[in-house]
Amino acid sequence: MDNLVFAFAIIGVLGVGAQWFAWRFNLPAIVLMVIAGIVAGPVLGIFNPPGSAGEPPMEALFGDFYRPIIAIAVAVILFEGGLQLNFSELRGLTKGVQRLVFPGVAIAWGLGALAAYLIIGFSWQIALLFGGIMVVTGPTVIIPLLRQSKLNPRPATLLKWEGIINDPIGALLAVLVYEFVVFGASHGSPGEIIGSIVIASLLTGALGFAIGRFTATAFRRGWVPEYLKPPVLLALVIVCFETANLLQHEAGLLAVTAMGVTMANSKIASINELRLFKENIAVLLVSGVFIILTANLTFDSFLALDWSVAWYLAAMLFVVRPLTVFLSTIGSGLPWQERLLVGWIAPRGIVAVAVSSFFGASLVAKGYADGEKLIPLAFAMVFVTVIAHGFSIGPMAKWLKLASRERPGVLIAGASPWSIALAAKLKELEIPVMVADTSWRRLKPARLADVPTYYGEILSEVTEHHLDLNRFGYLLAVSGNEAHNALVSTDLAPELGRAAIYQVNARGKDEEDRQAMSYTLQGRTFLHSAAPLDELLRRHYNGWIYQRTRLSEEYPPERYKEEAGPDHEIVLVMRKGAIQFASREAPVEPAIGDTVLAYIPKPSEQKPETAKPKKNGAQNGENNGANPENKKTDPSR
Same-domain check for residues 468 and 615 = yes
Q: CB under 8 Å to 188, separation ≥6 — which residues?
A: 196
Q: CB under 8 Å to 484, separation ≥6 — which residues?
A: 414, 477
CA–CA separation, 219 vs 211, rounded Å? 12
Which of 399, 424, 447 terminates a domain? The answer is: 399
Same-domain check for residues 372 and 480 = no
572, 581 in Cβ contact below 8 A? yes
| Span of 1-10, 38-47, 126-135, 504-513 with lowest mean pLDDT | 504-513
**DSSP conformational letter for 556:** -
- In this predicted structure, what is the pLDDT of residue 626? 42
Kindly state the average pLDDT of the residues 85-98.
81
The answer, yes or no, to whether residue 462 has pLDDT greater than 70, is no
- In this predicted structure, what is the pLDDT of residue 116? 94
The CATH number covering residue 471 comes to 3.40.50.720
On average, the pLDDT of the chain sits at 83
Which of 399, 434, 464 terminates a domain? The answer is: 399
The answer, yes or no, to whether residue 471 has pLDDT greater than 90, is no
133, 171 in Cβ contact below 8 A? yes
- In this predicted structure, what is the pLDDT of residue 637? 35
- pLDDT band (50, 70, 90) for residue 270: confident
Tens of pLDDT, residues 197-248: 888 889 999 999 999 999 999 999 999 998 899 999 999 999 999 999 998 8
Same-domain check for residues 496 and 536 = yes
- In this predicted structure, what is the pLDDT of residue 452? 92
Closest CA to 136 of 355, 383, 319, 447: 355
| Span of 37-41, 356-360, 458-462 with lowest mean pLDDT | 458-462
Alpha-carbon distances, residue 371 vs 41, 84, 363, 378 (angstroms): 21, 34, 5, 11
The sheet carrying 501-503 orders its strands as 453-455, 433-437, 409-413, 472-477, 501-503, 524-525
Q: Is the C-alpha dihedral spanning 493, 495, 497, 500 positive or negative?
A: negative
Tens of pLDDT, residues 92-142: 778 888 899 889 999 999 999 999 999 999 989 899 999 999 998 877 778
Kindly state the average pLDDT of the residues 619-635.
43
Same-domain check for residues 159 and 66 = yes
- In this predicted structure, what is the pLDDT of residue 619? 38
- In this predicted structure, what is the pLDDT of residue 370? 83
Is the pLDDT higher at 387 or at 54?
387
CA–CA separation, 451 vs 245, rounded Å? 55
528, 502 in Cβ contact below 8 A? no
The answer, yes or no, to whether residue 301 has pLDDT greater than 80, is no
Same-domain check for residues 425 and 393 = no
The answer, yes or no, to whether residue 577 has pLDDT greater than 80, is no
Same-domain check for residues 126 and 223 = yes
**DSSP conformational letter for 319:** I
pTM > 0.85 = no
Q: What single string gives the DSSP state of each residue in 277-292?
A: HHHHHHHHHHHHHHHH
Kindly state the average pLDDT of the residues 587-591.
87
Closest CA to 423 of 380, 452, 388: 452
- By three-state DSSP, how is residue 298 classified? coil
- pLDDT band (50, 70, 90) for residue 434: very high
CA–CA separation, 429 vs 331, rounded Å? 43
CA–CA separation, 388 vs 380, rounded Å? 12
Same-domain check for residues 388 and 442 = no
Question: If 0-12 CB within 10 Å is exposed, 13-18 middle and 19+ buried, where does residue 539 land?
Answer: buried
CA–CA separation, 34 vs 291, rounded Å? 7
Same-domain check for residues 327 and 371 = yes
Is the pLDDT higher at 158 or at 607?
158
What domain count does the chain have? Answer: 2
- In this predicted structure, what is the pLDDT of residue 636? 35
- In this predicted structure, what is the pLDDT of residue 150? 76
Classify residue 125: in a domain, yes or no. Answer: yes
The answer, yes or no, to whether residue 187 has pLDDT greater than 70, is no
Classify residue 637: in a domain, yes or no. Answer: no
The answer, yes or no, to whether residue 623 has pLDDT greater than 50, is yes
Classify residue 32: in a domain, yes or no. Answer: yes
Kindly state the average pLDDT of the residues 258-277.
86
Closest CA to 524 of 588, 609, 597, 452: 588
Same-domain check for residues 578 and 484 = yes
Classify residue 346: in a domain, yes or no. Answer: yes
- In this predicted structure, what is the pLDDT of residue 188? 63
Classify residue 633: in a domain, yes or no. Answer: no
Tens of pLDDT, residues 594-604: 999 999 887 76
Classify residue 404: in a domain, yes or no. Answer: no
Q: Which residues pair with 410 in a beta bridge?
A: 433, 474
Classify residue 171: in a domain, yes or no. Answer: yes
- In this predicted structure, what is the pLDDT of residue 168? 85
- In this predicted structure, what is the pLDDT of residue 417? 94
CA–CA separation, 80 vs 275, rounded Å? 7
The sheet carrying 545-550 orders its strands as 578-581, 569-575, 595-600, 545-550, 622-624
The answer, yes or no, to whether residue 609 has pLDDT greater than 60, is no
Is the pLDDT higher at 305 or at 260?
260
- pLDDT band (50, 70, 90) for residue 450: very high
Parent domain of 94: 4-399
Question: If 0-12 CB within 10 Å is exposed, 13-18 middle and 19+ buried, where does residue 111 land?
Answer: buried
CA–CA separation, 296 vs 284, rounded Å? 18
Same-domain check for residues 46 and 194 = yes
Q: CB under 8 Å to 369, separation ≥6 — which residues?
A: none
Classify residue 43: in a domain, yes or no. Answer: yes
- pLDDT band (50, 70, 90) for residue 356: confident
Question: If 0-12 CB within 10 Å is exposed, 13-18 middle and 19+ buried, where does residue 48 land?
Answer: buried
For the chain, the distance separating the N- and C-terminal CA atoms, rounded to the nearest angstrom, is: 69
554, 626 in Cβ contact below 8 A? yes
Q: Which residues pair with 548 in a beta bridge?
A: 597, 622
Closest CA to 178 of 354, 312, 358: 358
Long-range contacts of 55-62 (CB under 8 A, 24+ apart): 55/298, 56/296, 56/297, 56/298, 57/295, 57/296, 57/298, 58/292, 58/293, 58/295, 58/296, 59/296, 61/1, 61/2, 61/4, 61/7, 62/4, 62/292
Same-domain check for residues 362 and 493 = no
Query: Crossing angle of helices 229-247/190-220, nearest 10°?
Result: 160
Q: Tell me the one-letter amino acid at 401.
A: K
- By three-state DSSP, how is residue 410 classified? strand
The answer, yes or no, to whether residue 190 has pLDDT greater than 80, is no
- In this predicted structure, what is the pLDDT of residue 13? 94
Tens of pLDDT, residues 504-560: 875 544 555 555 566 666 788 899 888 899 999 999 999 999 999 999 999 998 888
Same-domain check for residues 444 and 321 = no
Is the pLDDT higher at 308 or at 1?
308
Tens of pLDDT, residues 169-180: 888 888 888 877
Tens of pLDDT, residues 367-416: 888 888 888 898 889 889 988 988 888 889 989 988 866 678 899 999 99
Which of 351, 376, 399 terminates a domain? The answer is: 399
The answer, yes or no, to whether residue 26 has pLDDT greater than 80, is no
Helices (H), 179-270: 190-220, 229-247, 252-264
The answer, yes or no, to whether residue 608 has pLDDT greater than 60, is no
- pLDDT band (50, 70, 90) for residue 617: very low
- In this predicted structure, what is the pLDDT of residue 50? 66
Q: What single string gives the DSSP state of each residue in 75-124?
A: HHHHHHHHTT--GGGGTTTHHHHHHHHTTHHHHHHHHHHHHIIIII---H
Q: Tell me the one-letter amino acid at 308.
A: S
The answer, yes or no, to whether residue 52 has pLDDT greater than 80, is no
**How far is Cα of residue 247 from the mean position of the Cα atoms in its chain?**
33
